[in-house]
Amino acid sequence: MIPPHTLSSGAPGMSEDVKCRDIMSAPPVTASVFTTAEEAAQIMVNRKVGSLIIVDDKGGLLGIVTKTDLVRGVVAKGLPPNKVKLGDIMTRDPYYVTTEDSVRYAAELMGYHGIGHLPVVDMESGKVVGVISMRDIIRLAPHFIELVYLYKSREEEQGL
């Protein structure tokens, strides 16, 4: 497997001009580690999002919770959603991109790690300022979508 920092930075015919800040959804829908799974599900439904970015009191990135996390970490285990805190089921220290990273890099990162949502961090402030989903790439930069699936298909071909 290729470490993420060695992912390609460009290919013939693909522009590196499109930055994550250009297609991210902003502001991100956020929650705290103390938000319950029940509250999280209600927020996701009401805001029509598939993930919540978990931030500290200064807006710094702590983790991410997706609909899949709620299903696997709460529902499938028969836990009471009104008692489970997001801090207990979130993915800690998730992969992220910066506002200045290319959409190509975001697509490669998603494909390489099999993830569907990436927090977008402003490097000056250190705060989460947006989120990019696979759906954003499909809708706003469809020429990069093949990269989302590139690494996954390579792994399948190699039997990994």
The residue assigned the tokens 């994550």 is 20
Biggest CA pair distance of the chain: 51
Q: What is the pLDDT of residues 87-120, one digit of tens each?
A: 999 999 999 999 999 998 998 899 888 899 999 9
pTM check: above 0.75: yes
Six-digit token pair at 140?
A: 């706003």
Q: In a 10 Å sphere around its CB, with 0-12 CB exposed, 13-18 middle and 19+ buried, how is residue 47 labelled?
A: exposed
Give domain status of residue 83, yes or no: yes
Give domain status of residue 146, yes or no: yes
Counting residues of the chain whose pLDDT is more than 90, the rounded percentage is 66
DSSP symbol at 10: -
Q: How many domains in the chain?
A: 1
Q: Is the pLDDT of residue 125 over 80?
A: yes
Which neighbouring-strand residues pair with 21? none
Give domain status of residue 8, yes or no: no
CA-CA distance, 156 to 97, in Å (whole number)? 26
- The CATH number assigned to the domain holding 40 equals 3.10.580.10
Domain containing residue 62: 18-158
Contact in structure between 131 and 50 (CB atoms under 8 Å): no
Q: Is the pLDDT of residue 39 over 90?
A: yes
Q: Is the pLDDT of residue 17 over 90?
A: no
Give domain status of residue 3, yes or no: no
Cis-peptide, bond into residue 142, ω within 30° of zero: no
Six-digit token pair at 76?
A: 């499938």
